[in-house]
Amino acid sequence: MGHSISPHFQNAAFEFSGIRASYSAWPTEPKNLSDKVDTLRETSFMGANVTIPYKEAVIELLDEIDDWAEKIGSVNTIVNDCGTLVGYNTDAVGFIQAISKYGNYDPAGESVLLIGAGGASRAAAHALVGNNVGTLVIANRTYDRAEKLAAEFSNKDKVSPISLNGPSFLKAVDSASLIINSTSMGMKHTSLEDGNPLEGISVKRGVLVNDMVYNPLRTPMLIHAAERGAKILTGLPMLVLQGAASFNLWTGAEAPVDVMFSAAQGAMAD
């Protein structure tokens, strides 16, 4: 969170909209999470965003959970409603808008491979199933987590779990028209920044490869995919669009998405 560009585009949105507010990053240790969340009840706070690894852990610290966030089991947006903390999930809408508008992709009837089983993956999985995906394969390094997420969906023929390694993963890569990385592999300033879940695997031409990691914009996975003729979608559209949905919840005003995108792109260029 300390390297987040969210303050850049959220503050640009506040300024453009004439709203006297500021957005700042709060790097938080696990032991301090409860106290940090409780601080949001103060009248000076409209709310907050929640990032990895707290999107699931924060739920028990809130007073109310939106139906969609409860279904997903992941919260990325908190709204302070006169001291009552309400949890929402805007990752799902941000993800679907990103692949639709910026990836020119409709998941209806398609085969999708989703890498990861954390909070962001949960949002993507529920959004894809809600938008009539044909088949969804969830691959995770820890198979049990992928299995647990897949079990939330009643249609076992539509959603299936696999391990991140082995022949099942290779088959899923070959079958998918959309491949998504929802893990932190490839993220700058982490021990995994050189990571690529598709390392050494051939990707078919024309497949859309989306990395939810936005820093760097061209992650090792996206570079690898582009070199093999795949279409690529960076994590920036989802980041900005989920942030725009959060802005709407906090302020009740329509987010200036173009202004937010411009500020986000400027922050990435710095």
Q: Nearest-CA neighbor of 178 among 244, 241, 98?
A: 98
Q: What is the DSSP letter of 178?
A: E
Residue with token string 């938008």:
131
DSSP bridge pairs for 138: 114, 161
Structure tokens at 217: 């914009």
Catalytic machinery residues: 55
Going across the sheet that includes 159-163, the strands are 159-163, 135-140, 111-115, 178-181, 208-211, 231-233
Q: Nearest-CA neighbor of 210 among 110, 141, 69, 143?
A: 110
**For residues 206 and 198, what is the distance between their CA atoms, to the nearest angstrom?**
16
What sign has the CA pseudo-torsion 134, 139, 144, 148? Answer: negative
* Cα distance between the two ends of the chain: 17
Cis check: omega of the bond before 216, within 30 degrees of 0: yes
